[in-house]
Homo-oligomer: A and B are copies of this chain.
């Protein structure tokens, strides 16, 4: 049986929910106060899950320090203290809902983590609203 390891991380970002393919009125009707033009923001909490076999030499699935550094370099550096809509390539046209942010984080980390490991992303936008990909 496999073992999963989890690493929690954080980034603080501004965003607004907005689909540029919709009219302003449609955006407001769908996204309400999350669509307000000058942005709001969140303390995002990210949990990265890596599933695989325990290495018999180290007793690790993966080295948590290495995993933490990967997350820091490829996710925190990109999103922390940034405006997701304005400052990132990923959300120039993609609406930064929690669902889409989780999927984007998955796609980034998937290329950095050996394919023999399964990968899962949980992202808390607030304490009460969170998402998981794959679900």
**Chain A contact residues (Cβ within 8 angstroms of B): what range?**
35 or more
Partner of A130, one of B6, B80, B128, B132: B6
- Closest Cβ of chain B: how far from A58's Cβ, in Å? 6
A33, A100, A126, A131 — most chain B CB neighbours (10 Å): A131
If A12-B42, A41-B40 touch, does A134 touch B1 (CB 8 Å cutoff)? yes
Partner of A13, one of B32, B41, B102: B41
- Say what secondary structure dominates the interface of chain A: mixed
Question: Given A1-B134, A3-B103, A14-B41, list of 6 further CB < 8 A pairs?
Answer: A5-B130, A12-B41, A19-B57, A40-B41, A42-B43, A54-B97
A residues whose Cβ falls under 8 Å from a Cβ of B:
1-10, 12-15, 17, 19, 21-22, 30-34, 36, 38-43, 51-52, 54, 57-61, 63-65, 80-83, 86-87, 94-100, 102-103, 126-135
Q: Mind listing 8 A-B residue pairs with CB under 8 Å?
A: A5-B130, A12-B42, A14-B38, A15-B41, A34-B81, A42-B43, A58-B97, A61-B131
